[in-house]
Structure 1
Amino acid sequence: MTLGKLALLCACTLAPLAGHAQNDEFTKPWDDGNRAIVIDPYEGNDKLNWDEIAKDKRVVAIIHRATQGMETDAKYQERKTEALKRGYLWGSYHLGRPGDPIAQAKFYLDVTRPADTEVIALDIEGTSSHDMSLADAKAFIDYIARQTGRYPVFYTNHNTTRIITEQASGKATVFSKTPLWYARYLSTVTDFPKGVWTTYALWQFSSEQNCKQTGKCLYNVPGTDRYMDINVFYGSPEELKARWPFRSPTVEAQN
């Protein structure tokens, strides 16, 4: 997502696909040419050559940063228009910052005005003073759910996933209603913190953290910079199209 991110969607919404063990899900699934790939750009990703990207038939969806805090991503609208024209699945995310979470949620919805076919997501990159707090994240998620009738996808890193799971300790939590977008820049994960979630909806496995800085990209999408954030879906492009936009248990929308 942002160039400053550190190494850094719910058991009830996206259980592991039948017949596959967790080891398969967490052991270089992108090496399987049948697995779908999703990129998630933001305005800092200057290189986005659509004709080149189209050569990778595994890339069928794009989730673009729309807002952060109370600011709009300058590239969001033009890239959404181009992506939809080219037939990609579309989604957006809000990068949560300290401050009023309801004001941020309203701002995000006002900017994106998401269609029912679009992924909506909250990005919490960690638990530092630069990030939206987990308490505020809950308020943001609840508001989005009430307004849209569905829970957003929740993006975060391994450490925050572990903290949320430990804090829940078997108790009900709003996070369990969100599909997990898991950020972990490794080839293999053996310690996924099960509890709130049993697996991921998307796994962000490559970014500047393990590509631009080390020169060891786990996957390259043509037409993008080497530091493009790349995600894998544990299923085929057709299966991803069927699951998009990762609907969770719905709630009654409120005006």
Structure 2
Amino acid sequence: MSSRNNPIAAVQKKKTVSATRKKGTTSSKSSRAPKRVQMKTSHGMPVWLRNILAVLIVGCFSVAFYYFFIRPYAYRWKPCHGLKEYGVCIPDGYDVHGIDVSHYQGKIDWQKLRQNKETVTPLHFVFMKATEGGDHGDTTFSANFANARNHGFIRGAYHFYIPSTDALKQADFFIRTVKLDTGDLPPVLDVEMTGRKNKTELQQGIKRWLDRVEAYYGVKPILYTSYKFKTRYLDDSIFNAYPYWIAHYYVDSVKYQGKWDFWQHTDVGNVPGIEEEVDLNVFNGTLEDLKKLTIK
């Protein structure tokens, strides 16, 4: 007998179809559910964990950026409680100021620079780069060295030391290039790199340069290097016998515990007569003390 002629069978069939449809709908929803879970976990990692890691990465990057790029130069933005000159806060307690220059400063207007001898923070001395390594001379040295004397500055010359080049070759090159005269500051050795030399080899080479130059000019050379370099690589007592010119930027005072004569306290000075930023220095003594240090 067909369901068409049997009302009871027709009702049962209708219920069966309805149940099947509901079951199918439930199965379809169940099959889609894992997909939503997968979107939340993104490659197997829960969203909350991914967010925490992102925050940690950003935090670490911010700390590293501050430590390496902001903290070392924070002194630039500190309030200046003393005298501000040449665009920077001048260290308190020093009366004798000076600069050091090289070809990086370009052509200097010496007439205009000379006017800085009459400011509240007068410039008295100028160091100039003369040589580097065994054969590289600074292109502006001859003109700067002559102009410094002609415009009334106490002048000095320095050599940039290259550890990989023979120390005596470097010393002889400096001697051939620089003719110091009465009233000039002693020759300067600028040491900033170790090269591939170990500490002992580095110190031996530096000492050879110092000995050769001292024997020629008859005066102990000035040793220039940073505070950290000096304490790490030139901590031998033999180097304490030389006048020390310390490079230590963006601090209120020199932290070095030993004796020092010059302090290069900034590399961002703005001095009339020089278009580019320039290093500023102070001498640890009076003007008479500075003159006593010069070649007789």
- Fold equivalence (TM over 0.5): yes
1:118 to 151, 168, 184: 184
Q: Structure 1 190/49 Cα, relative in aligned 2: closer, same or farther at 3 Å?
A: closer
**Cα distance in 2 for residues equivalent to 1:178 and 1:128:** 23
* C-alpha contact (below 8 Å) 1:29/1:232 kept by paired residues: no
Residue type of the alignment partner of 1:176: N
Partner of 1:86: 151
Q: How does 1:50-129 map to 2 (within 5 A)?
A: 50-57=110-117, 58-69=122-133, 70-97=135-162, 98-119=164-185, 120-129=187-196
How far does residue 134 in structure 1 lie from its aligned partner after superposition?
2.8
Residue type of the alignment partner of 1:118: D
How far does residue 242 in structure 1 lie from its aligned partner after superposition?
2.6
Q: Which has the higher contact order (CA 8 A, sep 6+)?
A: 1
Q: How does 1:196-207 map to 2 (within 5 A)?
A: 198-207=258-267
* C-alpha contact (below 8 Å) 2:219/2:295 kept by paired residues: no
Q: Structure 1 229/240 Cα, relative in aligned 2: closer, same or farther at 3 Å?
A: farther
- Deviation per CA, 1:166-197: give whole Å up to 9, x if none: 4x2xxx41x122100100112324631x3xxx
Normalising by structure 1, we get a TM-score of 0.70
* C-alpha contact (below 8 Å) 1:179/1:200 kept by paired residues: yes
**Cα distance in 1 for residues equivalent to 2:295 and 2:231:** 22
2:294 to 210, 228, 245: 245
Q: Structure 1 185/34 Cα, relative in aligned 2: closer, same or farther at 3 Å?
A: closer
* C-alpha contact (below 8 Å) 2:226/2:246 kept by paired residues: yes
Residue type of the alignment partner of 1:101: A
* C-alpha contact (below 8 Å) 1:41/1:64 kept by paired residues: yes
Q: Structure 1 78/191 Cα, relative in aligned 2: closer, same or farther at 3 Å?
A: closer
**Cα distance in 2 for residues equivalent to 1:180 and 1:191:** 14
* C-alpha contact (below 8 Å) 1:30/1:232 kept by paired residues: no
- Deviation per CA, 1:145-165: give whole Å up to 9, x if none: 122222100000111111246
Residue type of the alignment partner of 1:182: I
- Deviation per CA, 1:16-59: give whole Å up to 9, x if none: xxxxxxxxxxxx99344861111110012115222222222211
**Cα distance in 2 for residues equivalent to 1:125 and 1:221:** 25
**Cα distance in 2 for residues equivalent to 1:126 and 1:101:** 14
What's the RMSD between the two structures over aligned residues?
2.8
**Cα distance in 1 for residues equivalent to 2:266 and 2:107:** 17
Partner of 1:136: 205
Residues paired across the two proteins, number: 201
SS at match of 1:113: coil
Between structure 1 and structure 2, the one with the greater Rg is: 2
- Where in structure 1 are there 5+ consecutive unaligned residues? 1-6, 8-27, 212-218, 248-255
- Where in structure 2 are there 5+ consecutive unaligned residues? 1-71, 73-87
How far does residue 114 in structure 1 lie from its aligned partner after superposition?
1.6
